[in-house]
A and B are shown apart, each in its own frame.
Chain A
Amino acid sequence: MPTRTTGETSGSSGVALDIDRRDLAWYVDKAVAGLVFVAGISAIIFIIGIFVFITREGIGFLTSAFDFKEFFGSPAWRPTSERKATYGALALIAGTASVTGLAMIVSVPFSLGAAIFIGEFATGKTREALKILVELLAAIPSVVWGFIGLSIMNPLIIETFDVPIGLNILNSGIILGLMAAPIMTTIAEDALKAVPDSYREAAEALGATRWQVTRRVVIPAAKNGLVAAVLLGVGRGFGETMAVLMASGHSVNMPTSVFDSVRALTATIAAELGETAMGSDHYRALFTLGILLFVVTFVINLTADLVVRGIRKR
């Protein structure tokens, strides 16, 4: 790089000033900026890429064999029927919805309770220890949860409720609820932590007890974040595959009670995709389920995000 001595242009001070000199730090900065830019937009590229891929594989079904009424209105998922294959996803949707719904009933009170305890009541070492434990809980692989559902919950449910099979909505709902709890707890606790401490101080100075502060000040102020936490928990439950596959019984069934076995959308894809001929109607129908899952989780996450942003704007 040409370096110019600028003695004659630097004015009367007479100090030499290499005004256009680029040192190593400049190049490092540019290189790092480029790298993190690529890393940053890669998330967007991957999401678009996944969506394009799923849509491309599923679109053939959507344009040819897809029957809107059958897909959303019929519980008959018989893709391998020799006489007439039918692709009714209603039972699968109901399966996913019932398991996720029960999971939320189990998970929301636990998670919000845990978040409030960690964020507002626990202090010092208790608080730190609990936070670490909750994060550890989030790291348990889903197949382990599924294993617990199969080998512990299954006999327990059969014995306790005197039902023929323990792999059902109750089992998978509880397992999924426990799986969703750590992430909901963590996000809910972040929402509580974002409430300025001056609010708590003001309320406490007025004589409010810890619970009064929490109920009347902190929870209303953190409302949006808490809603987002629940939504993200729902999204987590919706997309979970392995544990639900193992604990739900995996039988196509319109559920009428929590002791019915059901099959989830995700589990259907996981179990059947390997056995289909690439490009067949069955293969494409599974990708259509994928599109449905993608759209639903996308909407849930987007809503959660918008809800959180709502809190910041105010």
Chain B
Amino acid sequence: MKGLKPTDMPQVTQARKRAAWVFDSPEPGSGARLFPRNRQAAAASADAIMEAARAFGRPNGAKRPQSARAPRAWRVAALAAAAVALIAISSTLTATLLRPLDVVEVRFTLEAPEASSVVLAADFNGWSPEGYELTRSAHDGTWSIVVPLRKGRAYTYNFIIDGERWVADPNAPMLLDDGFGGSMSSLAL
């Protein structure tokens, strides 16, 4: 009652009446209450407090917690986009950095000083020598060509001298019968 002015007296009286009502009408089995209370007013007050608590930190005008769904959807979409970007970057990096490790450049050489042309025919070019002409060294009669090949398997090949003579590589570690009356070289990488 502190701070009330005489003009507030009707309110004080009303409060006293409410208190008296509560005091005189205790809930069954609860005993007498120590403090005056109006149930409806208390419930309304509690609702108001809870609503204020729920609204705490919520942007002005935001009425419902459902409004949080939109930002969450955006977060999921952003996360998915980030994952896709990560996959793309990872794939590119793997393709760029790791794949060359799987391929080695192999130099095929043949000493044929008298030859006017030497070509390489192999299983890796479908036994088609086009584009696989060896280059003659200016210093000696050595012919050579560098071919990028994938590691992890064995290849078979022959040299064709002057367009007609098929020979195996005398320097190849592996030599095999080709089944057509000749021999072929094999190289494991």
Q: Do A and B bind each other?
A: no
